[in-house]
Every structure is written in C-alpha cells, then in structure tokens.
DNA sequence: CTGCGTGCAAAAACTTTGCAACAAT
DNA sequence: ATTGTTGCAAAGTTTTTGCACGCAG
C-alpha cells in the first residue's frame, strides 16, 4: 500500500507550522523521495535517490530532514542491529512488525491485531499511554532452517 | 531477580569450548562485572565498572567480550534510540519486554505470556523459527501524561 | 529584512581492527 | 609450542555541528 499524500501533507504542515519551520526545495525533495521509496531506508539510501534529482543536496540535510520526519511522527526509526538507523514511512500503511532472519537478513512484515490489543492492555495496566511500538522477532526463515539443519 | 551463575557458567563454557575460546582474566572480569550489574548497560558503563577492579582492561576487550556474550545468547543487544548498543542479561530472569517513556526515558519492564504465544504462532505461520525477539512500546508514562496535559 | 535552512568540512560518538606482545592450554 | 587474546592506537562508520552564505516568509 502506498502512503497517502493527503494525510501526510496535513500532519506535516501542522508540524512545521507549530515549530516555525520553513518549506524548502531540499526538504520537499527529500520528503518526496523518502515516501516514493518503500521499505526500511537508511539515510544513505534516501540521499542516493534524492541526489539523482539534485546533485547538490548534502547528506547533512537528509539527516536533518529524516529527523524531522521522525519527530513529526511520519517516519519510524528502526535499528535492526547493523549500525544504521533505518526509517520507514509511518502513515498510509497499516502498522506492522517484523520477522528477521538472523542468517540471510530476510525481513518479513506482518501484523496481528490481537497482539496489538494485548500491548495496549499491558500498557494501560502500567499507566502508560502508548504512542508507537516496535516488535521484532529474530530467528531462521524457512530456507535457512533447511540449510542449517 | 539475579541471574543464576550455574546456568550461565554452563552455557558459557559450552559456547567457549565449541569455538575454541580461552578463559582469560579479562574475560572473567568483564563477564562477572556485567552480570553483577543490572539493567541495560552500554559498553562504556561495563568498562567503567570493570576498570574499578582492573585499571588496565581496554575498552576494546569489553566490546569484544560483550559481543561474545551476545553470540552465546547470554546477553541481549538492544538499541533504544540513543546511538548506543545496550546489553542486558538474558538468563536468570524471565524474558521481558519494555515500555519506554519518550519524555523522561523511564523504562518499565513487563512480560506477557499471551503475547509470547501469539508471536510464536505468527512466526510459525510464516515458516519462521524464532530464536529471540524484542518488543518495545513507546509512549508517555503516568507522570509525563499529567505534566503534558 | 529577519531568521531559519543549507552545504561543506570538521568533529564527535561509537565500534572495529591491525599488530606486536602476552597468556592459556 | 601453539594458538587465541590483549592493549593500544589507528581507522572505520554513522551522525552531528559550526559557520558563512542563501533563501523563505
């Protein structure tokens, strides 16, 4: 599912207004690039793609912009254990979690409402108001189980 | 709950035998230090504590040893979003997950068997064999909800 | 105009690694 | 003896930052 530009725009403009941020050519480019791609993107990857359209954007601006997207809630920041932060679009697709193969690094996404409901329950029990969450299951995918056996 | 030295010892010695690793003064010091502490520890923190007993251990050895602990399954590696890997003892206490306050950084641990069971179920459905997992719920703790309201 | 934003390069923060000396088996 | 281990410092990665210039509002 692609992310919905309408909702995005709304969240973003409210966020930028709130913080007195300005709309710039670079920010638009980076944000559009990020949402046009899909998956779990490193800053490096977003940068590479954005540069295809404008050779002059600096990686620092990409770092700064991705951080804004994260703070605005439009992107989740993830850490899959390699040393890099990866960003993932947070609107326009249903929430999902990850199954990660520790051998071949395959990542499978899944969602499970029942788990989500239980999470809320647990949080409430501790007086928490959950804003977001991440869940990652690490193990061996079908193929790697076979090869390792 | 403190970690149980017996189980630890066993897992560790099997792991070291398997890989032809040697027992050294530094490794013992670092491992003991790690398990004597509690919580989510950065390499820096373990190092600081270990140095109290032996000024000469180098931070490189701590990095190397923590990686071994992680590979042996005795320590989980976590990433809470600050730029550091944090390690947490993986035996002697039941598995648990985390509620993290995004405002004051309070971390509450919890466990929920029902969720664990559902995770296994989902994994199996995708042909995965789960070895470990982590789940983190981000939000506002009781206190911060009040202050932010 | 005014102040935020950008690019660049330098720096910071964290982690890994090459190597010679050293220690465990 | 042999082979793995350590400390150190250098190098690698990823991310942040200072600053002068530029651009949006």
pLDDT recorded at residue B87: 96
Give A92-144 pLDDT, tens digit per residue.
Answer: 666 788 898 877 778 898 989 999 999 999 999 999 998 888 898 988 999 88
Write down the pLDDT at residue B54.
Answer: 96
Closest protein residue to D22 (Cα–C1'): A24
Residues in chain B closer than 8 A to A119 (CB atoms) = 115, 135, 137
Q: What is the pLDDT of residue A93?
A: 62
Same domain, A12 and A79: yes
A82 and A106 fall within a common domain:
no
Is residue A15 domain-shared with residue A46, that is, in the same domain?
yes
Contact between B62 and B50 under an 8 Å Cβ cutoff? The reply is yes
A residues 97-116 near B, CB within 8 Å?
Answer: 99, 101-102, 108, 110, 112, 114-115
Q: How far apart are CA A93 and CA B28, in angstroms?
A: 48
pLDDT digits (tens, 9 = 90+) for B58-91: 999 999 999 999 999 999 999 888 889 999 998 7
pLDDT of residue A1: 46
C-beta of residue B106 within 8 angstroms of C-beta of residue B80: no
Domain end among A89, A115, A136: A89
Residue A5 has pLDDT above 60, yes or no: yes
Chosen domain end from A38, A65, A89? A89
What's the pLDDT tens digit per position in B92-142?
A: 666 788 898 877 778 888 989 999 999 999 999 999 998 888 898 888 889
How many domains does the structure of chain B reveal? Answer: 2
Whether B68 and B107 map to the same domain: the answer is no
Identify whether the C-beta of residue B30 lies closer than 8 Å to the C-beta of residue B65: yes
The contacts of residue A64 (CB under 8 Å, 6+ apart) are none
| Shared domain check, A124 and A70 | no
Closest CA of chain B from A108, distance in Å: 8
- Give chain A's count of helices (H) and strands (E): 6, 6
Domain endpoint, select from A64, A89, A114:
A89
Q: Which residue of B has its CA nearest to A101?
A: B128
The CA-based dihedral angle spanning residues A122, B112, B125, A42, taken in that order and rounded to the nearest 10 degrees: 60
Q: Is B24 on the interface with A (CB under 8 A)?
A: no
Q: What are phi and psi of A110, to 5 degrees?
A: -150, 165
B12 shares its domain with B65: yes
Q: What is the DSSP letter of A79?
A: E
Question: CA of A3 and C1' of D9: distance in angstroms?
Answer: 48
Which CATH number characterizes residue A132's domain?
A: 3.30.1490.190
- Percent of all residues in chain A with a pLDDT value above 90, rounded to a whole number: 60
Give the pLDDT confidence of B30-69 residue by residue, as tens digits.
999 999 998 899 999 999 999 999 999 999 999 999 999 9
CATH of the domain at B57: 1.10.10.10
Tell whether the model's pLDDT for residue A31 goes beyond 50. Answer: yes
Residues B131, A102 contacting (CB under 8 angstroms):
yes
Same-domain check for residues B46 and B105: no
Q: Select the residue of B108, B112, B127 nearest A118 (Cβ to Cβ).
A: B112
Q: What are the tokens at B109?
A: 């641990």
Residue range of the domain that includes B120? 97-148
Q: Do B131 and A140 touch (CB under 8 A)?
A: yes
């Amino acid at each position: 599912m692609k992310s919905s530009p309408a909702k995005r725009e709304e969240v973003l403009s409210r966020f930028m207004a709130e913080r007195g941020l300005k709309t710039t050519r670079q920010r638009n480019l980076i944000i559009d690039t990020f949402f046009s791609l899909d998956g779990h993107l490193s800053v490096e990857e977003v940068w590479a793609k954005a540069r295809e359209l404008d050779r002059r954007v600096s990686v620092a601006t990409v770092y700064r912009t991705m951080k804004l997207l994260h703070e605005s809630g439009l992107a989740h920041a993830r850490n899959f254990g390699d040393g890099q932060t990866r960003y993932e679009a947070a609107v326009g697709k249903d929430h999902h979690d990850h199954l990660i193969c520790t051998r071949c690094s395959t990542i499978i996404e899944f969602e499970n409402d029942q788990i989500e409901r239980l999470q809320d329950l647990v949080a409430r029990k501790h007086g928490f108001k959950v804003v977001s969450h991440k869940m990652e299951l690490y193990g061996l995918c079908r193929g790697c189980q076979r090869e390792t056996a």
